[in-house]
Structure 1
Amino acid sequence: MQQQDALRHFVHRHRRLLVLTGAGCSTASGIQDYRDLNGDWKRASPITWQAFMGSDAARRRYWARSLVGWRHLLRARPNDAHRALARLEAMGRTEHVVTQNVDGLHQAAGSLGVIELHGRLARVCCTVCGHRTTRLEMQDRLEQLNPAWSRFDADSAPDGDADLDAQDFSGFAVPDCLQCGGLLKPDIVFFGEDIPGARKARAMAHLERADGVLVVGSSLMVPSGYRFVRRAVETGKQVAAVTLGRSRADDLFTLKISRPCAQALAFLL
């Protein structure tokens, strides 16, 4: 209760909180996270940009698993953590939400000011001409080219992936861009890929205007999130975190609450 009261007081002391969210915010919605309580990978590390762009076999494996995993992601709905943060925004207490998640659940819960650092899985882009389509359109094309794969199911993995490794992916057909025939990829930032500079600058500008930072469900093990906490501390801003297990920024937090996100933020509802 002391920790909960401290979090409540932290939120009410700050009028313009930058909210930085990660995978732990969406686990109660049925979306798996990447890391265990020690901050280590729970499974093999996700595909990298270098592997996706450099290997036809890697792309076949990615899209085959995604064909199955996308169905799990479509069923995900916002949980009370998303709703609590939308409520915080409605109260006029947030500067912005900066999320490392690619599931779109903050917007589905009603949040309006959201920067998706790593993009969103609901879009697909061409790496040659930049043309964008929806992931639903891509799903239709994948299923048309690979009808036998529609009957497969597997346990869900993070970010629309599925644990489907006991299959031969060599015959899986991956569609090309309808505009130029180029290589298609999900409109997200893969591991090993840089966040677009304008997006990063926009998020950092919101941090400069904020009077504090609230981290929700992120271990901050990747630089894309950690840099915001480090910058906040450098500029004298306090940082509170709601996250389970070890974080890369544990020594930088003013306050850390080790509880599931929805439970810790329930007072906002």
Structure 2
Amino acid sequence: MTPSDARPMTASSLADVVDVLAGHRLAALTGAGVSTDSGIPDYRGPDSPQRTPMTFQQFVGDAAFRRHYWARNHVGWRHVNRTLPNAGHRALAALEDRGVVTGVITQNVDLLHEAAGSRNVVDLHGRYDRVLCLGCGRVIPRAELADRLDALNPGFVEQVQQVGDVEIAPDADAVIEQTAHFVVADCAACGGMLKPDIVYFGETVPRARVEQAFALVDAADALLVAGSSLSVQSGLRFVRHAAQRGMPVVVVNRGATRGDRYAAVTLDAGTSETLSDLAETLPAPPHRTAAH
């Protein structure tokens, strides 16, 4: 049976997941669902509102879109900067400490895995706390740009928060209606266009980062997907890769995913409680010998 023909067993309890994963070194692939309990909503969860994220082409090709994005991001990044890791993030870090999880590939940009103590993390879609110049390639901290945008737009954040015209989004963005007068900053070094160091819809993940993620999967014995609908190819490809290599795949998510057909087990459940249970239940894998 090929991976694409396989039909997952829907887990009735945590025991089904443990049976598949026990004794294996796990690579973890996480999505927005892992961070919802930290107060960062996801795009595609069962209860998520309809969203239309800005594309890379819109950002670079239209000054009005770019102004709108930076106005939203100027509010939204502050919310993400205040968020704290939840039990799911801490559980993955604990599993790494015990040698069960070898590393995390995350589609999130919130850095909460690192904040929880995970050390081997591939931030597949970038990170919210950095800004990249598309002209000279300079990378600056998002906090540095915040100071410049505050100076260019005095009182903007306070005004928006006062009228309550904000909805936080999962990519350090926020939805704001009134952005027409927002002033955008250019690169202080070359005057080039600044962009969050985040992979937009319609943009390609850097090749070196993809290769790092594939290497992380190849170094593991099984793949655990947590909190991702796997709706985009950038995450789904690692599930397909694991299945093609004959590795067990377990998917823990609220609702169905595009990767369910590749999974040995799927569990429709929240990630915080499930990962916490796994941290308490999964035994440390046996020592791997050189001949393995």
Shorter-chain TM band: over 0.9
User: What 5-or-longer segments of structure 2 have no aligned partner?
Assistant: 1-10, 281-292
- Compare relative contact order (CA 8 Å, sep 6+) and give the higher one, 1 or 2: 2
Given the alignment, which residue of 45, 58, 65 partners 1:36?
45
Task: Supply the distance in 2 between the matched residues of 1:66 and 1:237 (Cα, whole angstroms).
Answer: 39
Residue of structure 2 in register with 1:20 after alignment: 29
One-letter amino acid of the counterpart of residue 36, structure 1: G
- Asked if the contact 1:257–1:264 (Cα under 8 Å) also holds between the matched residues in 2, the reply is no
Instruction: Provide Cα deviations, 1:163-205, integer angstroms capped at 9, x if missing partner.
Output: 212x1x2321111111111000000100100000111011111
Given the alignment, which residue of 135, 139, 145 partners 1:132?
139
Residue of structure 2 in register with 1:241 after alignment: 251
Residue of structure 2 in register with 1:204 after alignment: 214
Greater Rg over alpha carbons, structure: 2
TM-score after normalising by structure 1: 0.94
One-letter amino acid of the counterpart of residue 3, structure 1: S
Report deviation, 1:42: 2.9
Instruction: Provide Cα deviations, 1:17-57, integer angstroms capped at 9, x if missing partner.
Output: 1100000000000001001329xx73232111000010100
Report deviation, 1:60: 0.4
* Cα-Cα RMSD: 1.5
Secondary structure class of the residue paired with 1:115? strand
Task: Supply the distance in 2 between the matched residues of 1:173 and 1:46 (Cα, whole angstroms).
Answer: 21
Given the alignment, which residue of 167, 184, 187 partners 1:155?
167
Residue of structure 2 in register with 1:261 after alignment: 271
- Asked if the contact 1:37–1:246 (Cα under 8 Å) also holds between the matched residues in 2, the reply is no
Report deviation, 1:2: 4.6
Secondary structure class of the residue paired with 2:196? strand
- Asked if the contact 2:92–2:118 (Cα under 8 Å) also holds between the matched residues in 1, the reply is yes
Residue of structure 2 in register with 1:188 after alignment: 198
Task: Supply the distance in 1 between the matched residues of 2:258 and 2:105 (Cα, whole angstroms).
Answer: 18
Q: Does 1:59 align with 2:66?
A: yes
Residue of structure 2 in register with 1:122 after alignment: 129
Given the alignment, which residue of 75, 88, 92 partners 1:68?
75
- Percent identity reads 47
Residue of structure 2 in register with 1:99 after alignment: 106
Residue of structure 2 in register with 1:215 after alignment: 225
Residue of structure 1 in register with 2:151 after alignment: 144
Secondary structure class of the residue paired with 2:131? strand
One-letter amino acid of the counterpart of residue 171, structure 2: D
One-letter amino acid of the counterpart of residue 231, structure 1: H
TM-score after normalising by structure 2: 0.87
